Amino acid sequence: MQAYYAERAREYEAVYAKPERQADLAAIKAWLPAQFAGRHVLEVATGTGYWTPAAAAQAASWLATDINPETLAVAQAKTMPASVSVQLADAYTLDGVPDTFDAAFIGCWWSHIPLRRLPDWLATLHSKLQHGARVVHLDNQFVQASSTPISRQDDEGNTYQTRQLSDGRQFEVLKNFPTAEQAIALAGPRARNAQWTDFHHYWVLSYELAPQD
Ligand SMILES: C[S@@+](CC[C@H](N)C(=O)[O-])C[C@H]1O[C@@H](n2cnc3c(N)ncnc32)[C@H](O)[C@@H]1O
């Protein structure tokens, strides 16, 4: 996964040029800024920062993290709001990332997490957030004729796609497509006022983080 996205960094955003996705992308980009207005936001798996300029527009501060310097370099070459800074970080540990945020944004990362790792990953994410923090997960819906077909499913229920870079190299990539019920259940009892929004090509799960019992 890490190697695939390092190799794909320069051509990554071609996926956002698909004509059939433009209406969803515009609607989501219009919705995002108000979610983070005045907040101190942690972004995980930022990639090339496709969402960051819009999402961070009204934020007080925004830390964009990713494991790959290659993808973060593309993000850093963009015009970003002054509130945005970047840091290399592994999403699974978030080592070196402060625990003072009152919001989090995670785009197209949930789908790449093996199902058995999701509970621990969510606990790690939540450990970096204050009570009452606003959390927004955004990811892909599976849409026939637009999404890359599913090539196989493993014994644990994870699904995979075979993806090809422009130079012909192929990578098998884990890509899951949760239902609203599955995602809300995984977010757990601390996810207060959980809201699932079904865009045609994307889903958004947002909630406020309640204190731990
Ligand atoms: C599908 S991209 C999502 C990028 C961006 N958030 C978006 O929505 O367009 C997934 C990103 O996860 C990053 N990644 C892969 N493994 C990671 C890890 N263990 N920790 C943090 N980022 C990781 C890749 O470098 C890549 O930038």
Nearest atom of ligand 1 to the alpha carbon of 111: 1
Return the closest-CA partner of residue 109 out of 129, 83, 135, 131: 135
Find the DSSP H helices in the chain.
Answer: 2-8, 22-35, 52-55, 69-76, 118-127, 180-187
- The model's confidence at residue 3, banded by pLDDT at 50, 70 and 90, is confident
**What pLDDT is stored for residue 156 in this prediction?**
97
**What pLDDT is stored for residue 6 in this prediction?**
84
Give mean pLDDT, residues 46-67.
98
**What pLDDT is stored for residue 89 in this prediction?**
98
Over 80: is that where the pLDDT of 54 sits?
A: yes
Longest dimension (CA), the chain: 51
Considering only CA atoms, give the Rg of the chain.
Answer: 16
**What pLDDT is stored for residue 23 in this prediction?**
97
How many whole angstroms from 46 Cα to the centroid of ligand 1?
6
- The model's confidence at residue 88, banded by pLDDT at 50, 70 and 90, is very high
Give mean pLDDT, residues 124-139.
98
How many whole angstroms from 37 Cα to the centroid of ligand 1?
24
| Residue of 97, 109, 175 best suited for mutating to test ligand 1, as the one with most atoms within 8 Å of CB | 109
CA 67/CA 178 separation, integer angstroms = 24
The gap between the terminal CA atoms of the chain, to the nearest Å, is 35
Q: Which amino acid appears at position 69 of this protein?
A: P
- Choose between 104 and 169: higher pLDDT: 104
Over 90: is that where the pLDDT of 52 sits?
A: yes
Return the closest-CA partner of residue 66 out of 49, 53, 79: 49
How many whole angstroms from 194 Cα to the centroid of ligand 1?
24
Q: Report the share of the chain in percent with pLDDT over 90.
A: 88
CA 136/CA 130 separation, integer angstroms = 14
- Choose between 101 and 10: higher pLDDT: 101
**What pLDDT is stored for residue 5 in this prediction?**
82
Number of domains making up the chain: 1
With DSSP H G I counted as helix, E B as strand and the rest as coil, what are the percentages for the chain, rounded to 5?
30, 30, 40
Nearest atom of ligand 1 to the alpha carbon of 43: 6
Give mean pLDDT, residues 52-58.
98
Give mean pLDDT, residues 114-125.
98
How many whole angstroms from 195 Cα to the centroid of ligand 1?
23
- Ligand 1, atom 24: closest residue by C-alpha: 5
CA 34/CA 104 separation, integer angstroms = 13
CA 148/CA 110 separation, integer angstroms = 17
Query: Three-class SS of residue 145?
Result: coil
User: Residue 153: which residues within 8 A CB-CB, separation 6 or more?
Assistant: 159, 160
Q: Which residues line ligand 1 (CB under 6 A)?
A: 1-2, 5, 45-47, 50-51, 66-68, 71, 90-92, 107-109
Return the closest-CA partner of residue 43 out of 24, 66, 22, 72: 66
Give mean pLDDT, residues 96-111.
98
Give mean pLDDT, residues 126-152.
96
What domain range is 50 assigned to? Answer: 2-209
Give mean pLDDT, residues 30-36.
97
Q: Report the share of the chain in percent with pLDDT over 70.
A: 100
Looking up residue 78, the CATH number of its domain turns out to be 3.40.50.150
**Cα angle, residue 161 at apex, residues 157 and 167 outer, rounded to 5°:** 160
How many whole angstroms from 87 Cα to the centroid of ligand 1?
13
- Choose between 92 and 10: higher pLDDT: 92
